[in-house]
Each structure stands twice: as structure tokens, then as C-alpha cells.
Structure 1
């Protein structure tokens, strides 16, 4: 008798972990197959380090096919052209099809650089969203170091990932000081957030005070409620928006180097599928991570549709942090196990946020339980220990991927590192 097929679309931070944990949960009761865009896992949180030369690409990469084979997980790196949920079929990029009984979508987002003229690596700003972008950003940074000038860093309107923007601004500051050229490089942080430290979460603990203080100590000017109108070579046009939606001020910011995080949207393989996605292409999911229209389709990570925290002068998205993604993985693995046993799904993800934001020589850590306020735990702290913890976490996570282990990375390590177990109510 043919075994049910569980297809996992995506092999990034969420998809790779999902493959290991789902296979562990279902065992020999189902075949698990991963469809990836390429054969390599990249540890995305290390990209800011790559962009200043603190890491080489090969140090944060893992070649997946032999690991998946060892775990008896099917794998293809050809990518998917289109999901056909009404047919239970993945149309692959090479023209073949993969039929499934259950589908787990873990694609991450498409980067919407094209929404703003001149934005992105093909325009005039750098990116740390992908390791290839980070390598190009490193080349541009070396050019800046040879000929210092102004820097503009931040996140544009509609972005839903702010931590890496803060990290990169501080890491740039740290590296420029080490090279003794920080005094030649004015820096401005530009963000759609209504205030510094909002993070798409309406702040966590005193992230507002901590991050504003860090900006001032490092002589980084900042513009909030910012809408980037256009980027041209060496120039960024930024509109500062008032509470009533009017333009409060216009800033023409010159730059010799810029890194701006873009807005996200769903990938082309799922965009516009009625009942599966919202208008931005993010996957609709219930409390069990199942799609309401296609209940054999699950989703996790950045591709999941989450409504914004509330109205802000400039659109601000909600991040999906590693801890939240991990809890989605566990919920899906347990629910698939139940479904294969003829039972209904019951496991729900724990939407908590844990973040270690490295600043190159210090950092800020925060815990939000749950991620959306009001919260049972709302805590943030800073110190050099965060920088050291982030380094340890990188090594731990990559080693786990290389071994194909499905242990709870974020929950175990991050909670232990920042003492959250003692802080729990």
C-alpha cells in the first residue's frame, strides 16, 4: 500500500527544521520530500556579518542533499513553479510534478524591491536578506572604506523585519570604528516604524529606550514614520509622515553606501491562488497552521499571513521570529502525526518572540510572551553577552542542521542564554 506523501516547499530556516522534525514525528508512516530552490541551506541571521567581512559564505552554508538522504527524506533542488492545491500537486520548475497528500509551505517571502524605484541590489541600495546580497554588500562596504562617505540604513514602508536593520547599523558602526574611519562616515537610520524600537511589535520591554540610547551613543541620526519615495545613485528621497497621514517633512539624504530592508510578499508559486493566500500572497492559516480552504495544506514562517499590530502612519508589518517559526514547526509535525493516525489536529503554535540582536561589540536581547501584546512576559536587556551569545547560537544552529537534528533550537538555546526560564511567571 502506497504511503502518504508529505511535501515541504522550502528548505530555509523553517523548511529544513520542519523536514527533520516532521520525519521524526511521522516515522515510516509517510514519505517526506523537500522541494527547495537550490541545494544549500544558508543561516540568514549571519548575513550582516558576511556584509562586513566577519564571515565567509562557506562558513554559514550547509549542503542539504546528503543530510536529507541520511535522514531518509526525499529532496530536490529544482524549485517549484506553481502550487495547484485543488489537484494536490506541485508543479516543479523543471516541468515535472510532485503529487502530495499533505503540503507544508515554508518558502519564506519574495523580496519586493521593485515597489520602490531604485531600491535593492539591482538598484542603488544593498541588502542582507540573502547571502548573495550580503556578499555584494561586503564588496560595496570595502569600496566605502576606501572612499568614506555618508551611510543610510533602515527598513522601508511595509517591511516586517526590523531587527537586522538595527543590527547592521550597529555592526557598521563597530567595524568603521575599528578601521578608525567612523569620524568620516555620517550615518542615518531610516525606518517606517512609528518610533525607534517598535520592531513591528509595538516594542518589547524598553526596546524604545535601549535602541534610542544606542543610536545616540553611536552618533546615528534617525528618521521614523519614514516613507522612501525614490532612490537614485547616491541619493534617497524620504518623506516623513505625520500622524494624520500628511507629509510632515521631506528629507533628501545623500549616501555613499545604503542598506535598506524591503517589504515582503508571497512567492510567485502561490501568489493569487484564491483561498490559499491573502492579496499580498501570504498563506492563510488557522490556529493549527492549516489553510481553511485546503485543509491538507499547512504553512509556517515568514510566508504565513499575520495582520499588522494596528494602524500606523506608515505601513509596518509583523515579524515572524525564529522562536515563533519553531513553534509552528512543532505544531505542524504533531498535527500531521495525529492526522496520519486518524485523529484531528489539536496542537497550536506558541506565538512568542525571542531575539538576540548583535551590535558587533554588544547587543540587545528581548522576550515577548506572547508576541502580540498584552503580554505575560515583556522583557529586554543589553550587554556584550548578547554579542557572544549570538556567536554561540550561530555555531550551535548550523551544527544541528549539519547533523539533521530536530531539537528545538531557539527555545532551548535562547531561553537558556538569556535566563528566560527564571523569568517565566
Structure 2
């Protein structure tokens, strides 16, 4: 009998619990530990932030879902992981022993690395539903007395899609309110060019996103470091292609949302051999930590090296398709170890993204995620907007049912079908 503990109950952690339950032996027990009693669908946060969704529409209670699957649930955050003694120390002082640990915590949001950044400072965030609700309150005040918007992603950020998405959703909402003409918009990003996405671009993402920004009258500053944020004022240092300081910008704003850099959560930060200097979990090709072979990592919390150096630091995104693949590989590898066999499954690190722009949207498929690729496709259209809505509803139904049915594979097949139609 083995005890398998999953740390985290988000887009990686809950599917991990479902797949592990299906792959575990009858005598094995599975426990999920989370610092929150609810699951929320992160990709819907931009809609919450402009009052297109209510929080309760994208949030689910975790306990009844896991109870139906026969999985134990502890809604208490982890204080510290002790891999040398196979224990997780909880915030309430309890020690939870494990035979196998899957770390699926997601990241810590590094707002503190830039003075004035984040909901406790002067900018909004869509990284968590609570942040999105705060952003919505600020947005509702903003539309009564509009002014300049600054939106984007700071140095070290690794998830750029939501920044583009939220910029365009705000733009659409402003047009619907007939106040777009009163709102200058500037997109600030650490990417070397618009549409880089931390992936060196996908298809013609650069050309398409630049065209969309020009059409929507959105200015942009690339190779940008945000040095400080004051109330209504953002200080940005633009760099050239060699990484040298090029121009200082002082950008006034009445509303701003800037995605932060990520790092590992405090429960694992600084554990030698388990994480890198930023606190991301070190894994091998089987999702397993090299020093602690009974510890696995999945999702945004794992360490992935950047594809290539950029003038201003950018990270590599971990998209849903990649996370889904990590989950499946990890579940099968733990089962192999339970059976006394070596792990053999490897995640397919492919990238699929649906970014809603409010009335249209952009989608890309990168197989594999890091170039050179077998599939390198980027497109935009009204169908993406509809696909994102359908995806949200399908994913939430999947979580309610507690099923491990792959969802991103279906999206890839649909996208591939669209590509074939376009070719003909």
C-alpha cells in the first residue's frame, strides 16, 4: 500500500488526482493538499476582470468532487516540503507522510520584485480569481472616468498570452461602451517583439499581432523592463537588441494590468536538489526529480530553460496541453514504480492556446513547443472566441465529473482539421 500526495489542486493538480486514481492500485491512497477549498478556471479570469463572468460561474468546491472519486482532501496550505524524510508540513503544523509526492502548486507571483507592482501596489492582476475580482472593481470605476491604459508583462514573465488577451478584451469592452476614443492604450512587454510569446513566435504570430494592434490603435514597447510603478505612473526602461538601455519611458495610466514574473512557492524554495534558484521543481524526462526520485513535478511549477537568450529576460510558458501530457506521464510512471518497474512515459511538450479578444480571438498550435516544429500554426478569427467559451464550459464539466478524459488533444485535432480546410 502506498500513499500518493498531490500538492496543489489547480489545472494540473485536480486532473492529476483523477488520473492517479485510475492508475493506482486498489490498496493505494491518494491525498490532495491545497491552500484553497475551491478550484477556479484561470483562463476565464480576464472575463471576470471586465464583469463578463461572475466568480461563481468559474469556481467549483473541491471537496465533493474528490470525495466522489475516493480521494482525500486537505484544504490547508503547505508550509514546507521535507523530501529527505518524505513529509509535507502543513500551515497548521500537521505532518503528512508520503511514498510519492506530485508537486503541482503552480507559481508564486513575484510582485515584490518590482516596486509598486500588483494588487497591493498600483497595478491589477488576472492571475487569480481574487485578483480578477479586484481588477473588476477597479475597472468599473475606470469606465466611469476613463483615461490611459498600460497593460502587458514585466521582465521575467513566462505567460504572455493572457496579457494579449486581456488587452484585447478591455479594448472590446471599451468599444461596446462607446468610450474607446477616450482611452490611449500601451502594451509593455519584455518580449523582443510582439507575438514572441516566450516561444520565439508561433507561425506568423508577430505579423498578425502587430497588425491587430495597429488596427486597434494599441501602441507597444518591447524589450522593456518595468523599473518602478507609482500611483498613475509606470517607469519603463526600453532596451535594444543587444540588451543595452535604449530609452526611458514614463507612462501615465488610469488603469494598468501587468503580468508578473513567476517563481517557486515558499514551501519548496531553496531546497537544494529539488528546485532551481527561482524555486522551480527540477525534473527529468519522466517528470521525476533527479535527487528525490519519489517526487514528481507537473505544470507551471516545473523548471524549463528558455528557448534562447533574449535582451530582456523572458520565460517559457507551460500551456494546458503540456500540463495535461505531464499529468498522464506522471500517473503512468508512478504506477510503473508501484509495480517495481522503471518509469518510461514522457510528456509531449506541445503548446496549444486559445486567446479570446472579446469578439474575435487568436489561436496557435506549436508541436513541439520549442522550435524546430512539426506544426507551427497561428490564426485569428471569430471562431476562436466561440471555441474559448465552449472550452471553458467543457473543462468545468470535466472537473465536476472528475474525469481524466484528455481535452487538449481534441482541440489539436479540431485545429488540424481547420488547417487542412484552409490548405484546400
- C-alpha RMSD over aligned residues: 1.1
Q: Work out the CA distance in 1 between the residues paired with 2:384 and 2:413.
A: 12
Equivalences for 1:263-278 in 2 at 5 Å? Answer: 263-278=261-276
1:212-236 Cα distance to aligned partner (Å, 9 max, x none): 1110111000000000010000000
1:103 is the counterpart of 2:101: yes
1:419 is the counterpart of 2:407: no
1:133-155 Cα distance to aligned partner (Å, 9 max, x none): 00010011111100010000000
SS at match of 2:199: coil
**CA shift for structure 1 position 392:** 0.2
The count of corresponding residues between Structure 1 and Structure 2 is: 421
Checking the alignment, whether the CA contact within 8 Å between 2:154 and 2:190 is kept in structure 1 is: yes
**CA shift for structure 1 position 423:** 5.5
**CA shift for structure 1 position 417:** 3.5
Q: Work out the CA distance in 2 between the residues paired with 1:88 and 1:30.
A: 16
Equivalences for 1:27-176 in 2 at 5 Å? Answer: 27-176=25-174
What's 2:333 paired with? 335
Structure 1 segments, 4+ long, off by >6 Å, are none
What's 1:373 paired with? 371
What's 2:302 paired with? 304
**CA shift for structure 1 position 418:** 2.0
Equivalences for 1:222-237 in 2 at 5 Å? Answer: 222-237=220-235
Cα 1:348–1:126 shift into 2, 3 Å: same
Equivalences for 1:203-222 in 2 at 5 Å? Answer: 203-222=201-220
SS at match of 1:53: coil
Picking from 232, 248, 251, the partner of 1:250 is 248
Checking the alignment, whether the CA contact within 8 Å between 2:192 and 2:241 is kept in structure 1 is: no
SS at match of 1:239: strand
Equivalences for 1:172-183 in 2 at 5 Å? Answer: 172-183=170-181
Unaligned runs of 5+ in 1: none
What's 1:202 paired with? 200
Checking the alignment, whether the CA contact within 8 Å between 2:281 and 2:297 is kept in structure 1 is: yes
Q: Work out the CA distance in 2 between the residues paired with 1:395 and 1:291.
A: 34
1:246-292 Cα distance to aligned partner (Å, 9 max, x none): 21111100000000000000000000000000000000000000000
**CA shift for structure 1 position 343:** 0.7
Q: Work out the CA distance in 1 between the residues paired with 2:417 and 2:347.
A: 19
**CA shift for structure 1 position 420:** 5.1
Q: Work out the CA distance in 2 between the residues paired with 1:410 and 1:27.
A: 27
What's 1:191 paired with? 189
**CA shift for structure 1 position 421:** 8.6
Checking the alignment, whether the CA contact within 8 Å between 1:120 and 1:260 is kept in structure 2 is: yes
Cα 1:423–1:105 shift into 2, 3 Å: farther
Picking from 360, 363, 382, the partner of 2:361 is 363
Checking the alignment, whether the CA contact within 8 Å between 1:170 and 1:360 is kept in structure 2 is: yes
What's 2:397 paired with? 399
Checking the alignment, whether the CA contact within 8 Å between 1:85 and 1:294 is kept in structure 2 is: yes
1:5 is the counterpart of 2:3: yes
Unaligned runs of 5+ in 2: none
Equivalences for 1:376-387 in 2 at 5 Å? Answer: 376-387=374-385
Q: Work out the CA distance in 2 between the residues paired with 1:34 and 1:133.
A: 24
SS at match of 1:418: helix
What's 1:282 paired with? 280
Q: Work out the CA distance in 2 between the residues paired with 1:373 and 1:19.
A: 31
TM-score by length of 2: 0.98
Picking from 239, 242, 255, the partner of 1:241 is 239
Q: Work out the CA distance in 1 between the residues paired with 2:83 and 2:242.
A: 42
Q: Work out the CA distance in 2 between the residues paired with 1:395 and 1:419.
A: 22
Cα 1:191–1:221 shift into 2, 3 Å: same
